[in-house]
């Protein structure tokens, strides 16, 4: 009897041919739907990366001896660019081999710390030229020439706030000119350079249109942000050094890179796709890059902040898919071992600024007061670089929108829900940073001074243990 029952059960459970046919149909439908979804997604990305209107000239990949000038026209044309050295009137000329819409001219063998005027011709006709079209090459490594950086964060969202920030920095720069020097040396972004979809037209509205008067003269160094990663436009628009064209160590990728400018070494990190292990390619490159640097000042830029209690919460592993944790746990120990002076991030739509801190890699509830080395706002560090002398951490994500938060992270000395941007001045042994709000008012200011007298510097630890 039991064999009969077992036979009946086996007959019921035995797969029928029609079961296989049904499963095959369902698998085919699922695969087809996935392919259609992928095609639609790729089509959206492709269409979003297209931009057919004109774009004014902007400066890229600037170094001591090189520059890239980019622009776009609304019709295909063959371009020619002529540079003129302001010191000796020497001319440099490049001509495209065929007609195109998106133009990019790379010049080399230039002289450091020199102003060049450029003229653009389209099909042999003048297109852009005159005294307003110029750039200045970077000063040589460890040159005493002062450096002024304008810092933006999360600036891709268009609207009145973006306009106010643009007007405020223009006003402040006009009110605070530098003697016998240009208003700026460079513009740096902490990420999210365009709209939330990362479209090419979004970069035009949020970056190139409002800031074209500055971008035609000053190099723009962008961080790869969350919005930038949503489309294909970022790497189409920007020409970034991956072979150490502008100093530093070759990274082999435009996602992260470094730049030398006079006494400053600037590091641009990918917090979106990097630092997912303690020994990934970016971490290995970062260690080697910091080891080879001999500049007096070290500055690092990333999108996701290691510390924030603004519109985003660095304590929450679900916030940013753990990217803030990755930077705090895996990148900060490398930066602090090299005694990086200033770390700038975005993502949170607010302004936050830390004390001089060191060795805090957990959530805020694990913070120890011993990690505060100095409270400032005037800080002192040794002129000779040594591990764990402390770093200042800033969040600049409010250049287009300001949002509040709990603002209670123990690392932070200042937390402000205001739109604005930052000016960083480096002159000799002093770095001065100012957060300038939408009214052109300095809402926060701090200094870092490099000294030989260790009595002024309470940062005397060389390890986190």
Domain CATH for 441: 3.60.21.10
Q: Evaluate whether residue 53 is within a structural domain.
A: no
Q: Do residues 81 and 161 both lie within one domain? A: no
Q: Do residues 398 and 333 both lie within one domain? A: yes
Pair 331, 286: CB distance under 8 Å: yes
Q: Evaluate whether residue 191 is within a structural domain.
A: yes
Q: Do residues 74 and 23 both lie within one domain? A: no
Quick count: other Cβ atoms within 10 Å of Cβ 42?
A: 11
Closest by Cα among 169, 177, 181 to 213: 169
> CA–CA separation, 421 vs 189, rounded Å?
10
Query: Residue 125's domain is classified under what CATH number?
Result: 2.60.40.10
Q: Do residues 276 and 154 both lie within one domain? A: yes
Confidence of residue 463 (pLDDT cuts 50, 70, 90): confident
What single string gives the DSSP state of each residue in 160-174?
HHHHHHHHHHHHHHH
Confidence of residue 51 (pLDDT cuts 50, 70, 90): confident
Q: Do residues 7 and 69 both lie within one domain? A: no
Quick count: other Cβ atoms within 10 Å of Cβ 268?
A: 27
Pair 283, 171: CB distance under 8 Å: no
Last residue of a domain, one of 104, 136, 168: 136
pLDDT at 19: 58
Q: Do residues 328 and 426 both lie within one domain? A: yes
Tokens 């059960």 locate to: 9
CA distances from 376 to 167, 308, 416 (A): 30, 19, 17
pLDDT at 452: 84
Q: Evaluate whether residue 54 is within a structural domain.
A: no
CA distances from 12 to 2, 39, 382 (A): 15, 42, 81
Share of the chain above pLDDT 70, in %: 90
- Mean pLDDT score, 77-97: 97
CA distances from 422 to 4, 208, 434 (A): 84, 19, 5
Residues sharing a CB contact under 8 Å with residue 161, sequence separation 6 or more, in sequence order: 400, 401, 402, 419, 438
Within 78-185, strands assigned E span 79-85, 91-95, 100-107, 115-122, 125-128, 134-136, 147-152
> CA–CA separation, 113 vs 138, rounded Å?
5
Q: Do residues 126 and 266 both lie within one domain? A: no
Q: 378 pLDDT exceeds 80? A: yes
> CA–CA separation, 282 vs 292, rounded Å?
15
CA distances from 361 to 141, 340, 406, 425, 439 (A): 32, 16, 20, 29, 36
Q: Evaluate whether residue 451 is within a structural domain.
A: yes
What SS3 class is residue 151?
strand
- The β-bridge partners of 306 are none
- The β-bridge partners of 345 are 395
Q: Evaluate whether residue 320 is within a structural domain.
A: yes
pLDDT at 46: 56
Q: Do residues 91 and 160 both lie within one domain? A: no
First-residue to last-residue Cα distance in the chain: 75
Q: Whole domain around residue 24: which residue ranges?
A: 2-48
Q: Do residues 157 and 222 both lie within one domain? A: yes
Pair 94, 81: CB distance under 8 Å: yes
Q: Evaluate whether residue 56 is within a structural domain.
A: no
pLDDT at 115: 98
Q: Do residues 43 and 81 both lie within one domain? A: no
pLDDT at 18: 60
167-223 per-position pLDDT tens digit: 999 999 999 999 889 999 999 999 999 888 889 999 999 999 999 999 999 999 999
Domain count, the chain: 3
User: Parallel, antiparallel, or unpaired for β 342-345 and 297-301?
Assistant: parallel
Quick count: other Cβ atoms within 10 Å of Cβ 28?
A: 10
Q: 8 pLDDT exceeds 60? A: no
Last residue of a domain, one of 75, 104, 136: 136
- Mean pLDDT score, 235-250: 96
- The β-bridge partners of 437 are 420
Average model confidence (pLDDT) across the chain: 91
Q: Find the range with the poorest average confidence among 35-39, 80-84, 241-245, 330-334.
A: 35-39
3-state secondary structure 215-276: HCCCEEECCCCCCHHHCCCHHHHCCCCCCCCCCCCCCCCCCCEEEEECCEEEEECCCCCCCC
Q: Do residues 281 and 363 both lie within one domain? A: yes
Residues sharing a CB contact under 8 Å with residue 26, sequence separation 6 or more, in sequence order: none
pLDDT at 9: 47
pLDDT at 37: 64
Q: Evaluate whether residue 60 is within a structural domain.
A: no
Backbone φ and ψ of 331, nearest 5°: -95, -40
- Mean pLDDT score, 373-390: 95
Confidence of residue 160 (pLDDT cuts 50, 70, 90): confident
pLDDT at 287: 97
Q: Do residues 26 and 111 both lie within one domain? A: no
- Mean pLDDT score, 283-311: 97
Pair 415, 407: CB distance under 8 Å: yes
Q: Evaluate whether residue 58 is within a structural domain.
A: no
Last residue of a domain, one of 87, 103, 136: 136
DSSP 131: T
In the numeric block, which tokens belong to residue 57?
Answer: 């000239």
CA distances from 401 to 267, 350, 417, 442 (A): 25, 8, 9, 18
């Amino acid at each position: 009897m039991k064999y009969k029952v077992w036979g009946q059960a086996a007959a019921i459970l035995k797969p029928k041919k029609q079961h296989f046919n049904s499963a095959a149909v369902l698998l085919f439908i699922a695969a087809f739907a996935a392919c259609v979804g992928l095609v639609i997604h790729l089509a959206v990305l492709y269409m979003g990366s297209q931009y057919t209107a004109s774009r004014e000239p902007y400066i890229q990949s600037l170094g001591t001896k090189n520059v890239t000038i980019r622009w776009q026209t609304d019709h295909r044309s063959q371009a020619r660019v002529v540079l003129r050295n302001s010191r000796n009137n020497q001319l440099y000329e490049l001509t495209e081999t065929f007609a195109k819409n998106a133009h990019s001219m790379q010049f080399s063998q230039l002289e450091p710390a020199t102003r060049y005027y450029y003229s653009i011709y389209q099909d042999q006709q003048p297109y852009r030229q005159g005294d307003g079209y110029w750039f200045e090459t970077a000063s040589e490594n460890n040159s005493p020439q002062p450096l002024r950086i304008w810092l933006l964060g999360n600036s891709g969202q268009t609207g009145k706030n973006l306009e106010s920030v643009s007007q405020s920095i223009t006003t402040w720069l006009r009110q605070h000119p530098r003697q016998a020097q240009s208003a700026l040396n460079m513009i740096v972004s902490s990420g999210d350079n365009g709209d939330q979809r990362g479209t090419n037209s979004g970069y035009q509205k949020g970056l190139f249109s409002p800031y074209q008067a500055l971008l035609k003269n000053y190099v723009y160094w962008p961080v790869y942000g969350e919005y930038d990663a949503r489309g294909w436009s970022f790497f189409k628009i920007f020409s970034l050094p991956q072979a150490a064209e502008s100093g530093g160590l070759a990274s082999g990728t435009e996602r992260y890179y470094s730049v030398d400018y006079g006494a400053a070494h600037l590091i641009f990190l990918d917090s979106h796709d990097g630092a997912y292990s303690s020994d990934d390619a970016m971490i290995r490159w970062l260690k080697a890059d910091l080891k080879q640097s001999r500049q007096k000042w070290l500055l690092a830029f990333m999108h996701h902040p290691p510390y924030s209690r603004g519109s985003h919460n660095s304590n929450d592993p679900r916030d940013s898919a753990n990217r803030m944790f990755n930077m705090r746990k895996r990148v900060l120990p490398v930066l602090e071992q090299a005694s990086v002076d200033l770390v700038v991030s975005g993502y949170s739509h607010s302004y936050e600024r830390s004390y001089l801190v060191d060795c805090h890699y957990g959530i805020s509830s694990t913070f120890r007061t011993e990690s505060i080395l100095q409270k400032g706002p005037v800080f002192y560090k040794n002129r000779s670089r040594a591990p764990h002398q402390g770093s200042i951490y800033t969040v600049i994500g409010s250049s287009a929108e300001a949002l509040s938060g709990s603002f209670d992270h123990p690392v932070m000395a200042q937390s402000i829900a205001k739109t604005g941007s930052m000016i960083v001045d480096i002159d000799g042994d002093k770095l001065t940073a100012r957060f300038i709000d939408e009214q052109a008012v300095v809402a926060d200011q701090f200094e870092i001074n490099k000294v030989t007298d260790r009595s002024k510097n309470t940062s005397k630890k060389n390890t986190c243990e």
